[in-house]
Amino acid sequence: MSIPQPDKALEGHCSAINDDTLYVFSADSFQSLQLKENATWTEEQMGAPVTGAVCVKAGDALYVIGGTSDDEAYDGLQRYYFDAKSWETLSLPADNIKDRTNHSAAYLADANAILVYAGSQPTAPSLLSSQTFAIELTDPYNIESFTSSAPPANQPILLPWNSSHAVMAGGSPFSSEVFTFDHVGGWQPLGTNLTGPLQPGVRATLITGDDNSKVLEPMTRLLHQTRRRRLYYWAPTVRPPQMARPSAVQL
């Protein structure tokens, strides 16, 4: 099956999936594609244009976090409601997210907050960063800052591990550590490492099995081919910092 080409180029973009539809936010466009055979791209109503943002689905909305903007008044967070097909630019009480790039983000459902890790701003550029913030998703959208024991990174893998925790890996040529984060305990080592470092920008999926096992599958694009590396974790019913031991590794 051929992959349809979008009407506008995907540059400085981020994406999320809702109801079997892929939504892609770029610097000058917002497009969607139903994940079915013979689907075509649809141009959606555009929000505030930013480059280098991160997209996160939370509930019935898509959040666009950070990214550089030509609008000095833009605080770094906007929200798109899937059902209403409408945008809302949110005012933040601090400037931690404004013009932030090279970061990653994940939704923490129990805390109803978005975790933001790494990245930097033009006023204080940094290749690797361990800055950690949690943005509450109810007015006034408070931003809480956390001290990090996780390794500094650039665009690391950051995914929900369960409803209370996120898992972080990669994003640095110097570290193969895996950490989890929850809103109460902060960063904690997962208890096992990757078989090797993952470079900045590597993406991944996290699959939870019926037996509560977890499969982290990093994917790297190289010369129009996708190279997959798979790490298996057994997940008993205890908190993540105690539970991870690799049951198998495939490269």
* pLDDT tens-digit map of 136-172: 999 999 999 999 999 999 999 999 999 999 999 999 9
Asked if residue 63 lies in contact with residue 116, where contact means CB atoms within 8 angstroms, the answer is no
Q: For the chain, which domains are there? A: 14-201 (2.120.10.80)
Percent of the chain with pLDDT over 90: 67
Of 41, 166, 148, whose CA–CA distance to 108 is shortest? 166
**pLDDT given for residue 219 in this prediction:** 76
Nearest to 135 by CA among 158, 157, 108, 169: 108
Asked if pLDDT for residue 231 goes beyond 70, the answer is: no
Determine the Cα–Cα distance for residues 34 and 41; give it in Å rounded to an integer: 8
Q: In whole angstroms, give the CA distance from residue 54 to residue 205.
A: 16
What's the pLDDT band for 6 if we cut at 50, 70, 90? confident
Is the pLDDT reported for residue 251 higher than 50? no
* Token pair 């996780």: residue: 150
pLDDT of residue 112 exceeding 80: yes
Contact (Cβ atoms closer than 8 angstroms) between residue 164 and residue 230:
no
What's the pLDDT at 230?
53
Output the 3-class SS for 88-151.
EECCCCCCCCCCCEEEEEEEECCCCEEEEEEEEECCECCCCECCEEEEECCCCCCEEEECCCCC
Q: What is the dihedral of CA 178, 219, 5, 68, to 10 degrees?
A: 30
Q: If you average pLDDT over residues 228-250, what whole number do you get?
A: 43
Cα-based distances in Å from 168 to 2, 19, 178, 181 = 33, 25, 6, 8
What is the per-residue pLDDT across 172-220, written as a single tens digit (0 to 9) for each? 999 999 999 999 999 999 888 888 898 899 888 888 888 778 888 887 6
Q: Which residue has the higher pLDDT, 10 or 68?
A: 68
**Contacts (Cβ under 8 Å, ≥6 apart) of 26:** 8, 9, 10, 11, 12, 13
